[in-house]
Structure 1
């Protein structure tokens, strides 16, 4: 059986070895899709969506899913301060340049949406369409606190089955719609078994970027950056139980953006699993409309 994707390694501007998955490498001509994951997540989160867009959708596309530095198969940075949205945006643009991709549709989950804002500011011509997954111009402090607490306090799993049980126990109340298979797929994208021990697929120093945020102060509001995307077709997705993207902010996004489509995913929190709830079909249909 042919490989479902190609591993692509490239060098960042500072020489760090970075990784991306390329699905449908031969699917030239259609608008390519660029997938950007959440804070501690990686390219594996987009596997099923990428398979749908590159193999099953009516228009078969090239899909590139990036591992930021310090995540997935990318090298860890010796200086954790480089785990920064602007640096990560530069890394993504370097990867796209190495692949010869000059424009595309970006799918950004959580932090991936913030990286998308940065790319839009640095290279607006790259943006042909945007899919924001549970990220908006206002990030709720309570949601960020929830993420930080989970990362700081989640117990170390003994094995993969234990990791699934911990994920369900700590996050299950926000995700009643998920099946056991959904949980296992997510956990296997987050943990690897290394020498009989479970290791997360990210540099633990990454947590320094979250612990340093003062949640007693208002978080930056990104409405000006959002307004900069008014000319770009947008699909915005929100988990019904999300604590990071409020229903009020989501509604305001719908009122302000002239080319936006919105989807609320029932029974899921932050952030919806893009391979569930019919989202691959919905995203493929959105991209078809962008094409025409």
Structure 2
């Protein structure tokens, strides 16, 4: 298997965008991976390698303000419409005309938002712990930490911080799991640990309040009715309720559901039982 390759692509407004490509084109559908709100390409390293080993070309995108993509001085550009425009630029530059989309959290939202206008690009969808209707408690929790995590003294300290904050969502994580999470959350620059994303991304959730009813995306979800669909849901998630998952299955009768016990938001896609199901799902989309 070839080593992953980084690409740096210019967005419509000149900002640098980073994407990582795994595998080669063996004639099957490529896979596009879209991360969560404040996440990077590292979240998909395991599943991308598994899919590449299965003969797939995989493209993982970092939105502006995340990872090695440029940070935007205009904070208003940290919004889904700009992120979709950026994603389309990456697809066109890397000649990805049609693919299976794997969207974690924010990435799943972007996929649903693209469905009405860019449906021809979408051959199938894996939604990782996200749906067209969200629970406000999960959004409030996300608002509480995005761009606001304590400054760790070391990666081990970062692991302890993440464990304290998120152990209720991931009670079975090992010390190695928390350390791996910390290595994805912070990076070293000039001897100091810095977040792997622009802390100003907190602007994207600044208006979230506990008494709100979040807007829904059922119309956009319904635009996926003709597409193969898989929902991966953590049993301990506070973002997508079991009632919403059931409603999704009723509106999309062919939807495949994987629910992972003792895991919250989002689910780790490199878990062997999940990765194997995703590989099989992608193969089925080739038909």
Q: Is the contact between residue 65 and residue 71 of structure 2 (CA under 8 Å) also seen in structure 1? A: yes
Which runs of 5 or more residues in structure 2 are unaligned?
Answer: none
Per-residue deviation, 1:28: 3.4
Q: Deviations over 1:227-267 (max 9, x none)?
A: 11000000101101000011110111112203210010111
Q: Aligned partners of 1:3 and 1:272: how far apart in 2?
A: 27
Q: Are residue 51 (structure 1) and residue 49 (structure 2) matched?
A: yes
Q: Helix, strand or coil for the counterpart of 2:167?
A: helix
Q: Are residue 22 (structure 1) and residue 17 (structure 2) matched?
A: no
Q: Aligned partners of 2:98 and 2:238: how far apart in 1?
A: 32
Q: Helix, strand or coil for the counterpart of 1:220?
A: coil
Question: For residues 11-160 of structure 1, what are the structure 2 equivalents within 5 Å?
Answer: 11-24=10-23, 26-55=24-53, 57=54, 60-151=55-146, 153-160=148-155
Q: Deviations over 1:115-140 (max 9, x none)?
A: 11222233110000000000001011
Question: Which consecutive aligned stretches of 4+ in structure 1 deviate over 4 angstroms post-superposition?
Answer: none
Which runs of 5 or more residues in structure 1 are unaligned?
Answer: none
Which residue of 2 is the match for residue 167 of structure 1?
162
Which residue of 1 is the match for residue 262 of structure 2?
267
Q: Helix, strand or coil for the counterpart of 1:230?
A: coil
Per-residue deviation, 1:9: 0.7
Q: Aligned partners of 2:148 and 2:263: how far apart in 1?
A: 22
Per-residue deviation, 1:15: 0.9
Q: Aligned partners of 2:117 and 2:179: how far apart in 1?
A: 37
TM-score normalised by L of structure 2: 0.96
RMSD: 1.4
Q: Is the contact between residue 236 and residue 261 of structure 1 (CA under 8 Å) also seen in structure 2? A: yes
Q: Is the contact between residue 139 and residue 245 of structure 1 (CA under 8 Å) also seen in structure 2? A: yes
Q: Aligned partners of 2:148 and 2:163: how far apart in 1?
A: 15
Q: Aligned partners of 1:103 and 1:264: how far apart in 2?
A: 27
Q: Deviations over 1:10-34 (max 9, x none)?
A: 111111110000001x223111000
